[in-house]
A and B are shown apart, each in its own frame.
Chain A
Amino acid sequence: MTVTHAQGSTTIPATPEKVVVFDLGVLTTLDELGVPVAGVPVAENLPDKLAKYAGDGYTKVGSLFEPDYEKVNSLEPDLIVVAGRSSAAYPELSKIAPTVDLSVDNTKFLASFRERTEALGTIFGKQTEVERRLDAIDTAAAGVKAKAGDRTGLIVLTTGGKISAHGAGGRFGVIHDTLGVKPAAEGLSTDTHGQAVSAEFIAKTDPDLLYVVDRDSAIGENGAAAKQVLDNALVNGTKAAKNGKIVYLDPFTWYLAPAALSSVDGMVKAVGDSLS
């Protein structure tokens, strides 16, 4: 069977048995579909439902960014899946075994996510379940979009005490692009690391909703946690703070594994809840 993906198309065996996955989003989806995997990246701070993958039962094939090629080779996999952080390793990995890059295009997140997840469903014969869940997500997303109204939102990521803002078309852009919350600031860079901003920028933008991704807690550091960074007179003066609409987004869902069935489900729900 031939699969079209972000870096071309790859012919893979009809039912791949030994699968190596480098992306936590794909891993989450496969886990939910009940598809077994053989190799996973080293990852700390996995949520409870994925904690088993940190154990010895799974070969550790490198980091989220960098494969351990020898380990991958020794596993002799039938299929390797990369996405996002690991997509740069595609050329090397495809020399070892059939490899697909299931990176999601952030500028059309939901459509792209559907395409990638349908590919997974086809590969592992889980089309019906995938379709059912994707349709449910679409319905829920349409409902949230109808609720959004004129409200404006700003998405910030905090790391090591510094703040960066992320806009439409960016890695958290689904909030604006799909779920209909109006961007409180125009022209934010869609760069992976966003746009460095100050607390004054948040005060000036004065969004109705402030969405916060705490990178430090995503990677298990509790250094300058987001709450501490954002607790200052300038941010506290915004409409979002006054109305209790500073929304701390789940770091695993939004930062580590955004392109997973349950993650997108959770994203739609989180934004929906923030609008009620």
Chain B
Amino acid sequence: MTRRPLSGRLRAWHLVAGTALLAVLAAGSLFVGVSDLTPAGLLAGRPEEVRTLVESRLPRLLAILLAGTAMSVAGLVMMHLTGNRFVSPSTAGTTESATFGVLVATLFAGGEAVIVKMVTAVAFALLGTFFFMAILRRLTFRDMILVPLAGIMFGGVVGAATTFVAYRADLLQSLGAWTAGDFSGVLRGRYELLWIAGAVTVLGYLYADRFTVAGLGRGFAVNLGVRYDRVVNTGLVLAAAITAVVVVTVGEVPFVSLIVPNLVTLALGDNLRHALPATALTGALFVLLCDIAGRIIRFPYEIPVSTVLGVVGAAAFLALLLGGGKRMGLR
């Protein structure tokens, strides 16, 4: 996984430009929605417009930024730890396991607080991810494509189990409602758990160097004095926790964790500490753009962000495979 990184100056320039773009879009997104909210109205301090901003638009923006950032960083970390650029929470069974956890929590603790759901989802996401890692260790051919294929199949099995349980419990429609990633229900008081995902993402940054070394392989890492297993486990726990928190609060946001890290490393190289801020930034941008599109296309109704991400993400993934495949060492 080596490629020529861009020069430091170019990288800094990219980050500044990206941040500026994100700031502009973020500010713009505050004024996209059903209720009347205009910059002029805000400046005039109209109470109902201030209320819309505080209760609905700001929480939604924060939720989008946190979810986009956290999911793409989770993807980047998993990609490094497995040494495979197609391994992400959505291709290693992590997302599906977290969803299964939410279902189990609903069945056995329906009326309980969200925190119960979250803890269960994190536990299931961890179990699933570690199970996938165990499969990975037993794979003889660690082909670039074979590994994520195994993960997708494992995720498919977990997903089938989830569907079966939901079917028997007459919860299929409800399952559909929880899993479709959607920011339309985000209001003040409904998204704050995502800050946990944000905090975990920061932890990921602090650990970045060790993840980079671990990504070079066990032998190399141990020689450099890194506690390989502990670093790998920490990374997987971080990724699983982020995924579970996002699934519980907004639902599944497909493709972000897979595409964003790939696009960024394609441009910036593999040093995790360098790639992390750009990945976080791009993830936030990507999800924000898709959500704004979902809000505009069928105004005043909404298309869930997961649907938009599914369409845009699938196209981007194909383009990556076909166009970037050579550079990524696939062809």
Residues of chain A whose beta carbon lies under 8 Å from any beta carbon of chain B:
44, 63, 159-163, 195-201, 203-204, 215-216, 219, 221-223, 229, 232-234, 237
Contact = CB atoms under 8 A, between A and B. Distances in A.
B177 A233 contact: no
B285 to A, nearest CB: 22
Contacts of A222: 110-111
Contacts of A163: 184-185
Interface residues of A, dominant DSSP:
mixed
Nearest to A201: B34
A63 B36 CA distance: 45
Interface string B295-311: 00000111010000000
Nearest to B117: A223
Contacts of B35: 200, 203-204, 234
A223 B52 contact: no
A221 B174 CA distance: 9
Interface residues of B, dominant DSSP:
loop
A198 B55 contact: no
Interface residues of B, number: 29
A157 to B, nearest CB: 11
A60 to B, nearest CB: 14
Contacts of A237: 48, 51
A159 to B, nearest CB: 5
B36 A204 contact: yes
Contacts of A161: 177-178, 185, 190
Contacts of A199: 55-56, 185, 187
Interface string B113-133: 000000000000000000000
Contacts of B56: 198-200, 234
Contacts of B55: 199, 232-234
A197 B170 contact: no
A237 B52 CA distance: 10
A120 B20 CA distance: 68
B177 A198 contact: no
B110 A221 contact: yes
A161 B323 CA distance: 41
19 contacts: A63-B170, A159-B177, A160-B178, A161-B178, A162-B185, A163-B184, A196-B302, A196-B304, A197-B34, A197-B301, A198-B34, A200-B35, A201-B300, A215-B174, A216-B174, A219-B170, A223-B110, A232-B187, A233-B188
